[in-house]
Amino acid sequence: MNDLYIIITASLVATTCALLGCFLILRKMAMVGDAISHAVLPGIVIAFLVSGSRDSVTMLLGAGLIGVLTTFLIEFFHKKARLQTDASIGVTFTWLFAVGVVLISLFAGKVDLDQDCVLYGEIAYVPLDVIITDAGSNIGPRAIYIMGTIFIVIVAFIVLFFKELFLTTFDPAYASAIGISTALWHYLLMGAVSATTVASFESVGAILVVALLIAPAATAYLITDNFKWMLIIASIVGILASVTGYYLAVWVDGSIAGAIAALSGVLFILALMFSPTHGLLFKKLKASHSTAENSITQPFSVDPADSR
């Protein structure tokens, strides 16, 4: 049963991250997910220090606010300070992450959180943190309920506001022309990424969250040009990586989070090589086939000297 709990938790995290990752990939903001996943650390600590509680809602609120602040600072440095996007991302997330590390070191005795927990996580401990009702019944791991709630919220967010997210992703100029605020939906999306990231911290860690935000979506991007199918394929890839990664970790007796991230990379490489639309092997075969056809259909050239 513990195996099932771990796989369900990993699959919920992978699916939620994959859905959001599709928007990040198409908006050319994949590394913003990395920035947010690190920058929300001070938000978690500050939320605890203000509330005195490790309540999930409080943590999500603190992380969400810092996540939006991170996005704002990246845009501010890019437009006002005229930094390149990658430079503004690097400055913002390293600064905020460093602030979070300092806060943890100062209040380590009061906050049940450390750098290793945030960076690596340990999904193997998911079955140990269970919810016990007042009647004494064990209703299952807390992580499944938290990630299940986040998954439902993210799916509802995408389904209900698909038009706005779609237009601001593919054609922000047209979206602005018809009255859709690109800035509003940009920050709402970043808030969703922040909430998903912090909800996944204790179960899988930030490193795996970054991998699942990028790898399944990038894999799906290589497989299809249809956005709706991209969302579905990315979710399937995330689940597949979670299941195979878990059993790989059991087989080699290694890190479950590391194995899932590694399998995500393997699936991406397979798509890169064998995708029927953008795969390198398929492109090579298509190029060879086109060359062969051209050589067959090309008319023979006749040398005028031969006709004399």
- Predicted confidence (pLDDT) per residue in 161-202, tens digit: 999 999 999 988 888 899 898 888 988 888 888 778 777 776
What confidence score (pLDDT) does residue 119 get? 52
Residue 48 in any domain: the answer is yes
Buried b (16+ CB within 10 A) or exposed e, 54-68: eebebbbbbbbbbbb
Residue 54 in any domain: the answer is yes
CB neighbour list of residue 150: distance below 8 Å, 6 or more residues apart: 12, 16, 195, 196, 199
For the chain, what is the domain count? 1
Question: What domain range is 203 assigned to?
Answer: 2-210
What confidence score (pLDDT) does residue 295 get? 59
Q: Look up residue 33 and give its two tokens.
A: 């997910």
Residue 269 in any domain: the answer is no
Residues of the chain with pLDDT under 70: 52-57, 108-122, 202, 287, 289-308
What confidence score (pLDDT) does residue 307 get? 45
Residue type, 86: D
CA distances 152 to 84, 98, 147, 196, Å, are: 36, 32, 9, 11
Phi-psi region of 81 (alpha: psi -120 to 50; beta: other; left: phi over 0): alpha
Whether the predicted model's global pTM rises above the 0.75 cut: yes
Q: Pinpoint the alpha helices (H) of the chain.
A: 2-26, 30-39, 41-51, 56-79, 85-106, 115-119, 142-160, 162-170, 172-177, 182-204, 206-223, 227-252, 256-274, 280-297, 304-307
Is 144:8 a contact under the CB 8 Å cutoff? yes
CA distance 74 to 88: 5
Residue 131 in any domain: the answer is yes
What confidence score (pLDDT) does residue 98 get? 87
What confidence score (pLDDT) does residue 118 get? 53
Buried b (16+ CB within 10 A) or exposed e, 207-240: bbbbbbbbbbbbbbbbbbeebeebbebbbbbbbb
